[in-house]
Amino acid sequence: MKIRLYHARILTMEEGREIFQGEIHIQDGQILYVGEASPQENGEGKSPERPVKWDREVDCEGNLLMPGFKDAHTHSGMTLLRSYADDLPLDEWLNHKIFPVEAKMSGEDIYELSKLAVLEYLTSGITAVFDMYLTPETIADAFDKMGMRCVQVGAVNNFSQSPAMVEEMYQKLNGKSPLQSYILGFHAEYTCSKELLEKMAALAHKYKAPVFTHLAETEQEVAGCVERYGMTPLAFLDSLGMFDYGGGGYHCVHMSGEDIAIMRDKGLYAVTNPGSNTKLASGIAPITDFLKEGVRVAIGTDGPASNNALDMFREMFLVTGLAKLREKDASAVDAMEVLKMATVNGAHAMGLKNADVLAPGKAADIIMIDLNQPNMQPLNNIAKNLVYSGSKQNVIMTMINGRILYEKGNFNTKEQPWEIYGKAEQIRKKIMG
């Protein structure tokens, strides 16, 4: 399918390239052209010598085209638990509320609940997610059915998902679909025995592959690891060779100077989740310290049980807002740096280097931002408007792999939203009564 997006402002997220006015040409899921109106074409997108036959042309009316956001940490199937166990400490929330419900969820349940999450991702301009949950094969099927790009990560722990299962999924899901991939991972140090962690480190070495995990989310987690092993979680995992081929951690709130140095030296990603960490009172990640030391930062929403929204605009504001508060410095963490975290860095953390910026040859994962709304006016600085005043209401198009899946409030998915909502409600009644 050939699509032309024209009369647009374009933010490619390429280093050093400013917003400019132009157009983007797409064919079969790939970007062919990004630039000013093509010199071979007139204003209607047709060459005087040879007309171009577009399947669709979209007049962007001066609105902004940019790469889609990358949600670099989430648990999509937890939509069932949205607003179910709020206002509780993390330990009680997880052990007494979340785990008991999850024990009743089937793969088919998670398939349906993941589709509900996809609808919300699309409205937030999210074009790829880094998902960690219980049934990888049904999750991959759900995302494929919805046309959504998903990178899954293993969730090995003492109760489910063995290293053998993660290895099987690593072999089975990578290459199965152009929209799906799988990365090695485990839930957290505190939910895994040392034997399990050693097996995961061995897998990383076997495949020369990165590993991701929840890391240093709470003070209690760090203190427990120090008591068990005499080291912080990151230092202990590094001593096992866990990150010899890269990877990173989700949350990374309570990090020592040594931890940050390990992340820098190993080239690890810190995936911050400010909404979830704020709601669960886990703390504020040291974003400024990461940036000073050259640690790459990406942004995730975490799951809809702990956030409760899958909203990258809220996360972007919190990343910079909380950093300014923590450092008592209003200049901390510039908005442009936050946009890079939400797009380019997230894509690279997820191994999606073909979906990081808008350029010829890259995947056509593109969103359109409505600038003709009060919260975007005046246009003093569009990039800063996105971070400081932008919201989901400004997303008027979400394209993934060249397919427009969301446009001006309407979904172009294989199932209608009301069908997905209805199935989610049935699951809620079945499990929660």
pLDDT at 52: 79
Asked if residue 8 has pLDDT above 70, the reply is yes
Cα 141 to Cα 147, 201, 220, 385, distances in angstroms? 10, 28, 36, 36
Asked if residue 41 has pLDDT above 90, the reply is no
Distance CA 396, CA 173 (A): 32
CA atoms 239, 240, 246, 251: torsion sign: negative
Amino acid identity, residue 255?
A: M
Asked if residue 40 has pLDDT above 70, the reply is no
Asked if residue 44 has pLDDT above 50, the reply is no
38 falls in which pLDDT band (50, 70, 90)? low
Token readout for 192 is: 């895994």
pLDDT at 123: 98
pLDDT at 90: 79
Instruction: Count other Cβ atoms within 10 Å, centred on residue 49.
Output: 6
Q: What are phi and psi of 289, to 5 degrees?
A: -65, -40
| Higher pLDDT, residue 418 or 50 | 418
Give the residue from 236, 248, 262 showing the smallest Cα distance to 153: 248
Q: Nearest 5 degrees, angle CA 404-CA 408-CA 411?
A: 50
Token readout for 11 is: 């933010």
Asked if residue 425 has pLDDT above 50, the reply is yes
> Topology of domain 2-67+355-411, per CATH?
Urease, subunit C; domain 1 (2.30.40)
| Claim: this prediction has a pTM higher than 0.85 | yes
Distance CA 304, CA 295 (A): 27
pLDDT at 43: 46
Asked if residue 42 has pLDDT above 50, the reply is no
Q: What is the mean pLDDT of the chain?
A: 96
Token readout for 371 is: 């600038």
First to last CA, the chain: 46
**Domain residue limits, the chain:** 2-67+355-411, 69-349
Q: Can you tell me the mean pLDDT for 295-316?
A: 98
Cβ neighbourhood burial of 407 (10 Å; 0-12, 13-18, 19+) = middle
Asked if residue 303 has pLDDT above 60, the reply is yes
The predicted-structure confidence for 333-365, as pLDDT tens digits, reads as follows 999 999 999 999 999 999 999 999 999 999 999
The predicted-structure confidence for 131-143, as pLDDT tens digits, reads as follows 999 999 999 999 9
pLDDT at 39: 52
The predicted-structure confidence for 376-394, as pLDDT tens digits, reads as follows 999 999 999 999 999 999 9
Cβ-proximal residues to 354 (8 Å cutoff; 6+ apart), any chain? 361, 362, 363
The predicted-structure confidence for 208-251, as pLDDT tens digits, reads as follows 999 999 999 999 999 999 999 999 999 999 999 999 999 999 99
Residue with tokens 């679909």: 177
Distance CA 186, CA 208 (A): 16
Q: Can you tell me the mean pLDDT for 265-283?
A: 97
In DSSP terms, which residues pair with 3 in a beta bridge?
26, 56
The predicted-structure confidence for 165-186, as pLDDT tens digits, reads as follows 999 999 999 999 999 999 999 9
Amino acid identity, residue 38?
A: S
pLDDT at 47: 43
Task: Evaluate whether 2-67+355-411 and 69-349 have a shared fold.
Answer: no
Residue with tokens 């309570």: 254
Reading across the β-sheet that carries 211-215, which strands appear in turn? 69-74, 126-131, 149-153, 180-188, 211-215, 247-251, 269-272, 296-299
The predicted-structure confidence for 119-162, as pLDDT tens digits, reads as follows 999 999 999 999 999 999 999 999 999 999 999 999 999 999 99
93 falls in which pLDDT band (50, 70, 90)? confident
pLDDT at 84: 95
Question: Which CATH number is associated with domain 69-349?
Answer: 3.20.20.140
Asked if residue 48 has pLDDT above 50, the reply is no
Q: Can you tell me the mean pLDDT for 318-333?
A: 98
Asked if residue 46 has pLDDT above 70, the reply is no
Distance CA 272, CA 268 (A): 13
Token readout for 431 is: 């499990």
19: alpha, beta or left? (left if phi > 0; alpha if psi -120 to 50): beta
Token readout for 14 is: 């390429």
Cα 3 to Cα 6, 49, 157, 372, 409, distances in angstroms? 10, 20, 45, 23, 20
Q: Can you tell me the mean pLDDT for 273-287?
A: 97
